[in-house]
Amino acid sequence: MTFRSKLILASILAALLTGHATAHDPSAWGGMFRSRDDGASWLPVDAGLFIGGAMALAISPVDANHLLYATDTRLLRSHNGGRDWTHEAPDKLIGPILTVAFDADGRGAVTSNAAGIFVTAEGKTWSESNAPTGAAPARSIVAGGTAGRFYLAGPRGLYVSNDNGHRFQRLGETLPEATPAALAVARGNPDIVLAVLDGALWMSTDAGAIWRESRGGLPQRRVEALDVRGERWWAFGADHLYLSEDRGSTWRTVGNALPDAGTSVRGLSVNADGSVVTITTHRGVLRSPDGGRTWALVEGALPTHLESAPLIRDPHDATTLYAGFALTPYAEIYRRAEQGNNLLTQVDPISLIGGLAFLLLLLIGGVLLARRLARAYGPPPRNGESRS
């Protein structure tokens, strides 16, 4: 085959395989974004990785540049604030990684996928935890106030570990058997643990031993998100922001309702004086710069057409926030993980075979067309030769 015919063939194949592809548009992907001005402006921290879904982010309590990033396909680690990422334990941590958390002293970490709960110490090897049925795949993991203690929200309730995540035990036998929508810990001795179950807020003031439902002004069965820091505790539900200044005994509404009724709130973060409120929702990130009186959708670099869920405030810098987005609805990612599936298991085998056959026909057609074009436009035949 002459050089000219090879060039024609390469051009045809490129056209067939790329179709109408355009340059990469960051807004067409999910991923994790960072704001250094309390949610006013955002930039991606995983540019070039093409993340379909950002599930969680953990920031080391002793090093602001040490990050663990759970995505819908793998767990990533960065030691330079997200400029570079490495793939963690690709032989063990397979498929969607739903949550991740550092220990209170930053030495260990715990994560979860559909296969189970995994733990590491000093950033070395990952090993599977001894967790009871119903703990995995975990939706959320939060470090307690004591080194080695982790609280875990699983699809069948709440669990605790006191040995760096190596073993977990069930908490609150009297709690509703439901998937916690939110989990928060007011660290102390003992910890105060808060969880949202079936839209109701439940509290334990003794590290999870005894639980009671907290009502006192909250919307009936409609609590969605929590932000517990210091003496001011915040909750979101029924399109309103709520504040408690007596450790959850009573709550009052703050500001005005969201402009779009029925907004599903997944994450909540309020600054120290309550003046700036940021929430992640199924409609993107919303922000109030005046304590909840007015709300606006944050646009700019964010993929506003995608839903957002994880929202993390940097423990080293109160003005730094992280927000995650996903192409696939988060509920669907969780459902697939709980069923032990991944994206490939969702593909119909018949459709896959048909698609491969179609691509093969296109490839054969491209080769035949390239040969005909090469014969038609190639150099003239030498004496005694024909084009046939």
Q: Is the pLDDT of residue 102 over 70?
A: yes
Asked if residue 39 lies in contact with residue 276, where contact means CB atoms within 8 angstroms, the answer is yes
Nearest to 97 by CA among 81, 79, 73: 73
Is the pLDDT higher at 383 or at 292? Answer: 292
- Distance CA(39)–CA(269), nearest Å, equals 10
Q: Is the pLDDT of residue 5 over 50?
A: no
pLDDT band at residue 229 using 50, 70 and 90 as cut-offs: confident
Which tokens go with 39? 């949610």
b/e burial code for range 353-364 (CB count within 10 A of at least 16 → b): eeeeeeeeeeee
- Distance CA(294)–CA(107), nearest Å, equals 41
pLDDT (0 to 100) of residue 359: 65
β-bridge partners, 254: 241
Q: How much is the average pLDDT of 304-324?
A: 96
**pLDDT tens sequence across 155-175:** 989 999 999 999 999 999 889
- Distance CA(144)–CA(250), nearest Å, equals 24
- Distance CA(306)–CA(303), nearest Å, equals 6
Is the pLDDT higher at 27 or at 351? Answer: 27
**Mean pLDDT computed over every residue of the chain:** 87
- HSE at residue 347, side-chain half, CA atoms within 13 A, is 11
- Distance CA(328)–CA(335), nearest Å, equals 11
CA distances (Å), origin 105, targets 60, 88, 89, 127: 8, 20, 22, 19
The three-state secondary structure class of 35 is strand
Which tokens go with 324? 């995650």
pLDDT-wise least confident of 24-38, 94-108, 249-263, 344-358: 344-358
- Name residue 113's amino acid: N
The three-state secondary structure class of 243 is strand
Stretch(es) of the chain classified as CATH 2.130.10.10: 35-348
pLDDT (0 to 100) of residue 374: 67
Architecture of domain 35-348: 7 Propeller (2.130)
Answer yes or no: pTM beyond 0.95. no
